[in-house]
Amino acid sequence: MAEKNIIQLIKNFDPKQLKPVVLVYGSEDFLKKQFVNKLKERSKVHILWGDEVGFANLKDIFSSSALFSEGNTAVLFDFDSFLTKLSKNELKNLPEFLGKIGKPDRLIIISKKDKLPAKEPFKTIKNFADIIVSNKLTTKAFIVSLKNKIEKNGKKIDDQTLKYLSSKLKNDLWHAKQEIEKLLIYISDKDSITKEDIDLVVAPKVDENVFVFLDKFFEKDPQALKMLKDLIDTSYHPFEIQSLILNQINRLLLFKTLTRKGSPSDKVLDQMRIKHPAMRGTLQKQASKVKTKDLIGMIKDLYETEKKQKVEYMDIFRTVEEFIIKWVNYE
């Protein structure tokens, strides 16, 4: 069965053309959200989260009559987590249940997978559902989308500056939406966007590799130097990397200072508004690997590094490299 492109469906949205069961997959979450918003404009929608609901909750929705609209419409986000909670019997019965959903009822299933598995229940679902792919935009399409957004708001941007802006946003539509809106407010009294405007307003998109790099750095792992070069090769500027290191040093100093005064780790992390379990664990692990006096030494060296770069005009790439080498190899 041919897959449908989510961008075209959003542009020409008509839920009547969709089958009762729709499976949306792919890595671009922003487009999935836009698709669901279009659906919510047309009808009342039950929003379900796969890590919170079970098979019984899903069956309850489609076994009752809709109160305010013709049929029941539900969106199940994180279908992958939903599947992990099912018993063997529920997993076996799920495809049959989904196959019996008919108009005017509608179920939209949202999966985080980049590629649909050939195994059940996906194998059977593909036989009766509309399959919609929500992939990341190509670099070219992403740049075009940025330009269209800027020009629709009556502003101009030259091609070189546009590419620079795109490099900051790392092909992430969620991040781009927020940063472009900030940028447009900032330049509201100007006709054109400049590189200086971007540097002042736009926060670079930080990808997972940066967090891995920070982990390696604070663990004194020599791999940090290789990762530094990889980050720079993929358009991260040394100043961005130095800023990220400094921010993490400040977090570590705050964490170590408060816990040393007797506050429990969990309470300190709550005070620091670090909620994600992985981030909490990472900070605690890094704090156990580095001494307070060394963190203070790193801050001093970062200051000297930036002085060399911005005052003495020394090579910015070589100086950040020297900083990383020193602190990866220290005892």
Find the range with the poorest average confidence among 162-166, 191-195, 271-275: 271-275
The pLDDT value recorded for residue 86 is: 92
- Considering the segment(s) 208-328 as one domain, its CATH architecture is Up-down Bundle (1.20)
Domain ranges for the chain, please list them: 4-133, 139-201, 208-328
Torsional sign, CA 259, 331, 310, 224:
negative
Dist. CA 106–CA 98, nearest whole Å:
10
Q: Residue 69: is its pLDDT beyond 70? A: no
What is the percent of the chain with per-residue pLDDT over 70, rounded to a whole number? 95
- pLDDT tens per residue across span 197-243: 988 888 766 666 788 899 999 989 888 998 888 788 766 788 889 98
Q: What letter represents residue 279's amino acid?
A: M
Task: Give residue 67's pLDDT band: very low, low, confident or very high (50, 70, 90).
Answer: very low
Q: Residue 331: is its pLDDT beyond 70? A: no
Q: Residue 10: is its pLDDT beyond 70? A: yes
Angle at 145 between CA 144 and CA 147, to 5 degrees: 65
Torsional sign, CA 282, 285, 289, 291:
positive
Q: How many CB atoms lie within 10 A of CB 96?
A: 10
Instruction: Go through the chain and tell me how many residues it has.
Output: 331
Dist. CA 25–CA 147, nearest whole Å:
27
- pLDDT tens per residue across span 233-282: 766 788 889 988 998 999 999 999 999 999 899 999 988 888 778 788 88
Rounded to an integer, the average pLDDT of 112-128 is: 91
Rounded to an integer, the average pLDDT of 310-315 is: 92
Dist. CA 160–CA 167, nearest whole Å:
11
Dist. CA 76–CA 107, nearest whole Å:
7
Q: Which residue has the higher pLDDT, 288 or 208?
A: 288
Rounded to an integer, the average pLDDT of 56-76 is: 78
Residues 6+ apart with CB under 8 A from 313: none
Question: What DSSP character marks residue 49?
Answer: E
Q: Residue 139: is its pLDDT beyond 70? A: yes
The pLDDT value recorded for residue 208 is: 61
Distances (CA, A) of 325 to 249, 315, 316: 17, 15, 14
Write down the mean pLDDT value for the chain: 89
Distances (CA, A) of 196 to 72, 165, 172, 267: 50, 11, 21, 40
Dist. CA 253–CA 155, nearest whole Å:
43
Rounded to an integer, the average pLDDT of 11-35 is: 91
- pLDDT tens per residue across span 87-98: 999 999 999 999
The pLDDT value recorded for residue 199 is: 83
Spell out the CATH class of 4-133. Answer: alpha beta
CATH of 139-201, one of 3.40.50.300, 1.20.950.20, 1.10.8.60, 2.30.30.30: 1.10.8.60
Task: Give residue 159's pLDDT band: very low, low, confident or very high (50, 70, 90).
Answer: very high
Task: Give residue 194's pLDDT band: very low, low, confident or very high (50, 70, 90).
Answer: very high
Q: Residue 35: is its pLDDT beyond 90? A: yes
The pLDDT value recorded for residue 330 is: 60
The pLDDT value recorded for residue 170 is: 80
